[in-house]
Amino acid sequence: MVSGIVSYGVYIPNYRIRLQEIARVWGEGEDISESLQVFEKSVPDMDEDAVTIAVEAARTALMRADLDPCRIGAIYVGSESHPYAVKPTGTIVGEAICTSSDFTAADFEFACKAGTAAIQACLGLVSSNLIDLGLAIGSDVSQGAPGDMLEYTAAAGGAAFVIGRDNLVAEIEGFFSFTTDTPDFWRREGMPYPEHGGRFTGEPAYFKHIISAARGLMERLGTDPEDYDYAVFHQPNGKFPMRVATKLGFSREQIEPGLVVPFIGNTYSGSCLIGLAATLDVAKPGEKIFVTSFGSGAGSDAFSITVKHRIEDIRCRAPSVRDYIANGRYLDYAMYAKHKNKLRL
Amino acid sequence: MTTNAPRFWRCIPQRYNLIGTHCRSCGEYIFPPRNLCPTCRRVAELEEYRFKGTGTVITHTTIYNATEDFERQTPYDLAIIQLDEGPRVTGQIVSCPEVKIGMRVRPVFRILGKEGDRGIIYYGTKFAPLADFSYESEKSLSKK
Ligand SMILES: [Zn+2]
């Protein structure tokens, strides 16, 4: 059974802060942007959260392919910033996009790869004919403690993918996951900001998991990096995806169209999915995309995707990732602190 | 704690998706929803209607002092918007440095308020400038 992406939509908040501005406040050198390869990051408005971002992305995905929301049989939302600890984000998304009540929903949590885990769950239900369409969303308003390194990149954004069997814009040929118990990054219940293992987040976490999942999938499918026109890797900063691409044998040209982190920061569950959306915004029918997410804790999901002719019919019916990137308004650190609720009144 | 959850819950369709009322006998569009047409009274033929959410700013003001739930958001812009189908609604304008009378707006999904740190979160519709995405035709928005 062939299944894949029927439509997609993204949402990136309107506000931006330059990394230079954060560095100025904390007395860091301006070379921080250069070393992270991130120049600005998105900031949510005071009335935006992972739910509102998920809803905007989902509405855009439905509009792009003019889909009847009543066809949706499952809504899975991946996030590490679900606003309720108990009350699923998916219930609010369903109501806001006018689905029927005949759908299943659950919130997913797996650091930055909860959104790709949601796609896998939808693929399972769709491929086995248990549902018509599934809606998988990755959405986050991630937080870094003031002055922590995470504060330079923790951003907000999301992407929604409608998974189905007919009228595909892209076929998903297969996926491969790699999961271990690695404590590189975590947040305990009730704590406002996550903790991380510093340099430990690199080799044993990000690189090991992405490389293992990516190689596993290429081995299973008998493909090589040269068989793909584009590649998208999780983007915690601008350096890591470039380095992991090189290690695996992918080129800068392959990852460039989907590399959005320099302009919007790390959108966590949205990161890899916004990168995939940016790639679908430019890919031609017949081209192949290799995608690998990473979530701390830790795990990676790799996907092999082939773009179909239908992409050309629906691509222009909704804003592209580059449209959102171009539409930013800049904040200074004081306004940013107000937006992120970092001021305790 | 006290909660307005039941009252909020009853308003979800109108707040999330601007579900109002249309009278088929006189053609009038009504928002918020009513179970009576002010023109036709007994001969009214009412049906649920989902407003497109696009409209025009009739007048606006900036709020500097707000109740506790909104104080973090001050200053913010509040406007009376004439929806394209006719009725006027009061709504907050976001993502807009300068609100102008006659400005075209589109609906966006935002947090309207919260019952403190422990209570429920009220979600619903606010408005943003339509011009943000110039390619976005009003036709495609009406389907959204
Ligand atoms: Zn009437």
Beta bridge partners of B56: B82, B104
How far is the CA of A22 from the CAs of A17, A25, A193, A332, in angstroms?
Answer: 8, 5, 17, 8
pLDDT at B137 over 70: no
Same domain, B135 and B81: yes
Query: How many cross-chain Cβ pairs, A to B, lie less than 8 Å apart?
Result: 63
Structural domains in chain A, CATH included, are 4-169+312-332 (3.40.47.10), 172-311 (3.40.47.10)
Q: Which of A12, A14, A45, A47 to mutate to test the interface with B (most CBs of B within 10 A)?
A: A47
Same domain, B132 and B61: yes
Residue B6 inside a domain? The answer is no
Residue B4 inside a domain? The answer is no
> Looking up tokens 């802060």, which residue turns up?
A17
The mean pLDDT value for A273-296 works out to 98
Of B3 and B47, more confident:
B47
Q: Residue B110 and residue A98: Cβ atoms within 8 Å?
A: no
pLDDT at B144: 37
3-state secondary structure chain A: CCCEEEEEEEECCCEEEEHHHHHHHHCCCCHHHHHHCCCEEEECCCCCCHHHHHHHHHHHHHHHHCCCHHHEEEEEEECCCCCCCCCCHHHHHHHHCCCCCCCEEEEECECECHHHHHHHHHHHHHHCCCCCEEEEEEEEECCCCCCCHHHHCECEEEEEEEEECCCCCEEEEEEEEEEEEECCEECCCCCCCCEECHHHHHHHHHHHHHHHHHHHHHHHHCCCHHHCCEEEECCCCCHHHHHHHHHHCCCHHHHHHHCCHHHHCECHHHHHHHHHHHHHCCCCCCCEEEEECCECEEEEEEEEEEECCCHHHHHHHCCCHHHHHHCCEECCHHHHHHHCCCCCC
What number of other Cβ atoms are within 10 A of residue A175's Cβ?
Answer: 20
pLDDT at A217: 98
pLDDT at B136: 46
Same domain, B44 and B56: no
pLDDT in tens, A95-152: 999 999 999 999 999 999 999 999 999 999 999 999 999 999 999 998 888 778 889 9
Q: Residue A319 and residue B95: Cβ atoms within 8 Å?
A: no
pLDDT at B70: 66
Q: Cβ(B101)–Cβ(B75) under 8 Å? A: no
Same domain, B132 and B78: yes
Q: Residue A47 and residue B144: Cβ atoms within 8 Å?
A: no
Q: Which of B123, B130, B132, B140 to mutate to test the interface with A (most CBs of A within 10 A)?
A: B123
Question: What DSSP letter does each residue of B4-43 carry, written as one string?
Answer: -HHHHHHTHHHHHH-EEEEETTT--EESS--SS-TTTGGG
Residue B134 inside a domain? The answer is yes
Task: Provide the residue range defining the domain that includes B62.
Answer: 52-144
Chain A contacts of B129, Cβ < 8 Å? none
For ligand 1, the distance from its centroid to the CA atom of residue B51, given in whole angstroms, is 17
pLDDT at A303 over 90: yes
Q: How far is B36 from chain A (nearest CA, A)?
A: 25
Count the helix, strand and coil residues of chain B and give each as a percent rounded to the nearest 5: 20, 40, 40
Same domain, B58 and B40: no
pLDDT at B128 over 80: yes
For ligand 1, the distance from its centroid to the CA atom of residue B28, given in whole angstroms, is 6
pLDDT at B142: 43
Same domain, B114 and B57: yes
pTM, 2 dp? 0.95
Q: Residue A341 and residue B72: Cβ atoms within 8 Å?
A: yes
Q: Is the ipTM of this complex over 0.85?
A: yes
Chain B contacts of A158, Cβ < 8 Å? none
For ligand 1, the distance from its centroid to the CA atom of residue B50, given in whole angstroms, is 17
Same domain, B123 and B140: yes
Residues 6+ apart with CB under 8 A from A158: A10, A11, A50, A53, A54, A56, A57, A115, A137, A138, A139, A140, A267, A269, A270, A273, A274
Residue B26 inside a domain? The answer is yes
Confidence class for position A75, pLDDT limits 50, 70, 90: very high
pLDDT at A300 over 90: yes
Same domain, B25 and B82: no
Q: Residue A96 and residue B136: Cβ atoms within 8 Å?
A: no
Q: Which of B17, B109, B140 sits opposite A317 (nearest CB)?
A: B140
Residue B107 inside a domain? The answer is yes
Residue B12 inside a domain? The answer is no
Q: How many domains does chain B have?
A: 2
Residues 88-127 of B with CB under 8 A from A: 92, 94-95, 97, 108-112, 121, 123, 126
Q: Cβ(A278)–Cβ(A322) under 8 Å? A: yes
Same domain, B144 and B76: yes
Residue B8 inside a domain? The answer is no
What number of other Cβ atoms are within 10 A of residue A164's Cβ?
Answer: 25
pLDDT at A134: 98
Chain B contacts of A319, Cβ < 8 Å? 133, 135-136
Same domain, B104 and B56: yes
- CATH, residue B77: 2.40.50
Q: Residue B135 and residue A46: Cβ atoms within 8 Å?
A: no
Q: Cβ(A61)–Cβ(A8) under 8 Å? A: yes
Q: Which of A66, A92, A98 sits opposite B17 (nearest CB)?
A: A98
Beta bridge partners of A116: none
Spatial separation of the C-alpha atoms in residues A261 and A239, rounded to whole Å: 10
Residue B108 inside a domain? The answer is yes
Q: How far is B109 from chain A (nearest CA, A)?
A: 6
Beta bridge partners of B81: B57, B89
Same domain, B92 and B31: no
Same domain, B22 and B75: no
